[in-house]
Amino acid sequence: PERFRNMQLQEEFDTYDHDAHLFVKLQFLKKRSKIIEIVAAKDIIFALAHSGLCAAFSRVTNKRLSFLNLSPDEVIRSLFYNKNNDSLITVSVYASDHFSTLKCRTTPIEYIRRDQLDAGFPLFESESLKWPGFVEFDDVNGKVLTYSAQDGPGIMLLIYDRTPSYVPLKILSIEDGKPLKLFKHLLHRGKKIDFIEQFNEKLLVKQEDENLQILDVRSSELIEISIEKFMTPSAFIFLYENNLFLTFRNRTVAVWNFRGELVTSFEDHLLWHQDCSTNNIYITTDQDLIISYCKSDAAADDGTASSIGSINMSDIMTGKCIAKIAANDPALSIAPRKNGSPSIWSSIPEALEDVTALFYDEDRNEIYTGNSQGLVHVWSS
């Protein structure tokens, strides 16, 4: 579509800082490190490096606003933008307790813009989020699920240890935690469970070398999909708007419905990364487009496979690739510098090499990519 036409490389930001030693004390926070997550909100780009250093950049001034690491021994593990109150939640661990406890903090975007990071405040202090505890953010229901290993869980589907012939399951209300249903799902003896996934009232169960089972927990209707047709994926994304789900397997993406029918396979959307981190994939709010870092058609000059990928935008319902940002596109260029702002050091092929994180800002119609060098690139028209 029109919105991806004439995209150019507009800006380059660097999460690495020569002066990092002045404000962090952990040696690994001072090193150049790949970007593992990008989140953007209200003209600010947040880029989290694998080291645990997180930088905020302004798209208004195109300068770095701050690092979000408040204490010198803080290692930020993940980010979540809470659109309900326009704030950024960081999940961190600290050297002072041997990185054993997750601590969550929320900071209004407005305060980050003004570099008043100490205006944020801690969340879930009553929870002991020591390993194997965890915190999950549920964007669809506007809820946060915390699992305190000491107190036991409060999530929607509880999966208990299996017996040889069944697995006990309990479904809870996400609003008040009341049990809605307790049941046993029969298993094939001696076969390991590949996955159990729950999506609204549907339960997907797959055992090794067995058919996929889709169980409606309200009606108890059971559908089976043959192993030839449905092989175990490495990851799922549920599409709440369309009542469909995406599967990722061997770099390929497919769309299924809950009758076990293949809805879409993609014509030009071979993912770059084998392991399918969802930080390299963006699905639009309307769930009509998927934007990913993909294998490029182009081979290197010596005929070997190129180390440079492309950013492909595909229609989720038709599987067609509707646009791409590719190094071999003669129309793709670096935008001219405005009022002497800092230059972009990377070439376009370098900016599309080894991309490790991707985000699409729907409000600004800009794609942000991060790479193994700790650089963030802005693509827009």
Q: Give me the pLDDT at residue 155, please.
A: 40
Q: What's the mean pLDDT in 221-244?
A: 91
Report the C-alpha gap between 174 and 92 in whole angstroms.
Answer: 25
Q: Where are the domains of the chain?
A: 142-232
More confident residue, 255 or 1: 255
Given a cut of 80, whether residue 28 has pLDDT beyond it is no
- Residue 94: C-alpha distances to residues 72, 148, 182, 305 (Å): 9, 18, 39, 41
Backbone angles phi, psi at 361, to 5 degrees: -90, 105
**Which of 25-34, 65-74, 218-227, 257-266 bottoms out in mean pLDDT, i.e. has the lowest?**
25-34
More confident residue, 31 or 371: 371
Residues making up the chain, counted from first to last:
381
CATH of domain 142-232: 2.40.10
Q: What's the mean pLDDT in 211-239?
A: 91
What percentage of residues in the chain have a pLDDT greater than 90?
53
With 0-12 CB in 10 A as exposed, 13-18 as middle and 19+ as buried, what is 149? middle
| Two tokens, residue 165 | 């012939």
Beta carbons within 10 angstroms of residue 162's beta carbon: 15
Amino acid (one-letter) located at 38:
I
What percentage of residues in the chain have a pLDDT greater than 70?
88
Give the pLDDT confidence of 241-263 residue by residue, as tens digits: 899 999 999 899 999 999 999 99
Report the C-alpha gap between 347 and 59 in whole angstroms.
Answer: 20
Report the C-alpha gap between 294 and 323 in whole angstroms.
Answer: 12
Q: Give me the pLDDT at residue 172, please.
A: 80
pLDDT category of residue 154 using cuts at 50, 70 and 90? very low
The chain-wide mean pLDDT, for the chain, equals: 86
Residues 6+ apart with CB under 8 A from 353: 307, 308, 309, 371
Given a cut of 70, whether residue 181 has pLDDT beyond it is yes
Q: What's the mean pLDDT in 137-148?
A: 68
Backbone angles phi, psi at 271, to 5 degrees: -65, 145
Report the C-alpha gap between 14 and 370 in whole angstroms.
Answer: 9
Given a cut of 80, whether residue 124 has pLDDT beyond it is no
Give the pLDDT confidence of 280-295 residue by residue, as tens digits: 899 999 999 999 999 9
Contacts 24+ apart (CB under 8 A), 68-72: 68/107, 68/112, 68/117, 69/23, 69/24, 69/29, 70/105, 70/117, 70/118, 70/120, 72/23, 72/24, 72/25, 72/26
**Which of 68-77, 138-147, 278-287, 328-337 bottoms out in mean pLDDT, i.e. has the lowest?**
138-147
Residues 6+ apart with CB under 8 A from 307: 300, 353, 354
DSSP secondary structure code for residue 111 in this structure? H
Report the C-alpha gap between 40 and 362 in whole angstroms.
Answer: 10
CA nearest 113: which of 12, 40, 24, 17?
40
Run of H or E residues at 248 = strand 244-249
